[in-house]
């Protein structure tokens, strides 16, 4: 597995700290996929916004469970550990 430098929670400032705090409030923990974007704060914010639309939009015809199952299957097929 590749190793990518990320911003540690204790060192986070600005947008990265805001996104870390929001992720902790949302999920109760800080997942590595969020930390992955920490070295590119503009990308990080865009990723989080896209994630919220894809997974939490109430107008989506798929249930949250269906979306999670699709995400799980795609991750498995891609051999992704997230």
For residue range 2-41, what is the model confidence (pLDDT) as tens digits? Answer: 688 899 999 999 999 999 999 999 889 998 888 988 989 8
Which helix (H) or strand (E) covers residue 43, if one does?
Answer: helix 41-56
pLDDT for position 2: 60
Average pLDDT over residues 68-76: 92
> If 0-12 CB within 10 Å is exposed, 13-18 middle and 19+ buried, where does residue 44 land?
buried
Whether this prediction's pTM lies above 0.75 is answered by no
């Amino acid at each position: 597995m590749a190793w990518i430098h990320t911003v540690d929670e204790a060192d986070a400032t600005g947008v990265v700290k805001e996104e870390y705090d929001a992720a902790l409030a949302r999920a109760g923990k800080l997942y590595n996929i969020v930390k992955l974007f920490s070295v590119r704060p503009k990308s990080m914010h865009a990723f989080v916004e896209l994630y919220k639309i894809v997974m939490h939009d109430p107008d989506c015809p798929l249930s949250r469970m269906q979306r999670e199952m699709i995400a799980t299957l795609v991750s498995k097929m891609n051999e992704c550990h997230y």
